[in-house]
Amino acid sequence: MAPFIIGFSIVSLSAIYCKFGIKRDESSKIFMGISFVVLFFIMGFRNPLMGTDSIMYNNIFMRIGQQHSIREAFSASGISAPGYVIFCRVIYKFFPNYQARIIGTSLIILFGIFRYIKKSSKDVYLSIILFMTLTFYVQSFNISRQYMAIAVLLNAFVEWYRNKKSVLGWVLFFVALSIHTTSIVGLAAWILIGNNIDFMDKKQIRKLIVKSILLGMVVIVSQTQLLSVFLRMFPMYSNYFGGRALNQFNDQGQGRTIIIIFGYLAIVIYSVFLIRRKSSHLEGRIYAGEQLPVILFAVIIGILGAAYPTVLRMNIFFTITAISFIPNTFILDGRSNRRILSALTITLTFAFLAIYMIEDKSDVIPYMFFWS
């Protein structure tokens, strides 16, 4: 566990120093650069056998790479993900080993999520800390293909926040879909965001809640009903949806994830209150208001689908937006309250991360570098 402790400590201390010690405009860029290097080093240079589904992805990578043609690669992969097949094919052509896949995957995940934070958060320091403490970073060591899709889809959200008809947003959506088919749930976000909701109008708020509940019910019912059909079509996924890769979601769905979801709900309610307050930070109101429909949908999915581990896993596409929504909500409050809220949030989420790591739901303890 030492590399995680050292890495997280470096990132946390860098956040404190860059935010309060360096009084320059580029301090946030320096912090993001340090954080990216540290987190990439831990993620990219881990042993290729670490994690609950590493062996499966190693086998897929080798099957794809060893084929003579791209058509044979698609057939041999056993997955319906042409974007991921092309990714593996290109990596294997130049670096035919497991570590190259992990390095490439890590770069895409971290670059995509860091870009999302830069574009959507008014407090990149807290956002990157939350990316670690809410366990998204450690989870990405396992369900890496889904996290590649998440990293791409998040940037589609950014484009849709500003312009629902954004061509780049739709391109990124289809790229994410080509990496992991569950990215299709991103359409729910597209339906909800970019509607210029007036949070001063209670009718519009109620309409958003009702629409989110209906969409959530559709997603959950279709997901649970279609899963058995999907597994009959792609039996190689049976272990993927029934083995250790879902243990973290099984346990969390019955306990701590529910607590986290209700924590998100409390912040959503608090955010609506602050947005409606005329004295709130104008730019913060815009950022939080754009993102609120997505995190509200994540809360509804988390509550209605708590009994279904696969639903909780799919919900990561939405819950991860909390890493920018929470800081954007806090910035709406006064400076003193903001610091208290940030400190309390960091303390509680670090405790959540510590419990998660000790229980080793992601099978990443003990940590091993690739040369071990």
Distance of CA 139 to the CA centre of its chain: 9
> Domain spans of the chain?
2-359
Per mean pLDDT, which range of 21-30, 66-75, 250-259 is the poorest? 250-259
pLDDT attached to residue 269: 87
Per mean pLDDT, which range of 17-26, 27-36, 77-86, 151-160 is the poorest? 17-26
pLDDT attached to residue 126: 95
| pLDDT(322) > 90 | yes
- Give CA separation, 133 vs 151, 250, 336, in Å: 18, 19, 23
User: Facing residues of 198 across strands?
Assistant: none
pLDDT attached to residue 233: 53
**Tokens representing 261?**
């979801």
Largest CA distance in the chain: 64
Residue 366's pLDDT band, with cuts at 50, 70 and 90, is confident
| pLDDT(225) > 60 | no
Quote the CA–CA distance of 16 and 169 in Å, as a whole number.
Answer: 34
Residue 131's pLDDT band, with cuts at 50, 70 and 90, is very high
What is the tens place of the pLDDT at every residue in 173-203?
999 999 998 898 898 888 888 656 666 667 7
**Tokens representing 178?**
């080509």
| pLDDT(116) > 90 | yes
Share of the chain above pLDDT 90, in %: 37
What is the tens place of the pLDDT at every residue in 58-85?
889 999 988 888 888 888 887 888 999 9
Amino acid at 164: K
pLDDT attached to residue 243: 47
DSSP-assigned states of every residue in 75-86: HHH-SS-HHHHH
Task: Determine contact, residues 43/141, Cβ cutoff 8 Å.
Answer: yes
Task: Determine contact, residues 318/189, Cβ cutoff 8 Å.
Answer: yes
Torsion of CA 79, 84, 88, 91, to 10 degrees: 180
Per mean pLDDT, which range of 46-50, 113-117, 166-170, 344-348 is the poorest? 46-50
pLDDT attached to residue 171: 96
pLDDT attached to residue 253: 41
| pLDDT(25) > 80 | no
pLDDT attached to residue 1: 75
pLDDT attached to residue 255: 64
Give the gyration radius of the chain's Cα atoms: 20
In 88-102, which positions are buried (b, 16+ CB within 10 angstroms) versus exposed (e)?
bbebbeeeebbebbb
**Tokens representing 83?**
């974007």
Top pLDDT among 287 and 341 is at 341
- Give CA separation, 167 vs 37, 84, 111, 171, in Å: 31, 22, 21, 6
Cis ω on the peptide bond leading into residue 96 (within 30° of 0)?
no
In 290-327, which positions are buried (b, 16+ CB within 10 angstroms) versus exposed (e)?
bbbbbbbbbbbbbebbbebbbbbbbbbbbbbbbbbbbb
What is the tens place of the pLDDT at every residue in 33-51?
999 999 999 999 998 888 7
Task: Determine contact, residues 370/47, Cβ cutoff 8 Å.
Answer: yes
- Give CA separation, 85 vs 74, 89, 354, in Å: 7, 6, 35
**Mean pLDDT across the stretch 116-120?**
94
**Tokens representing 306?**
């708590």
- Where does the chain show beta strands of DSSP type E? none
Considering only CA atoms, which of 299, 79, 279 is closest in space to residue 208? 299
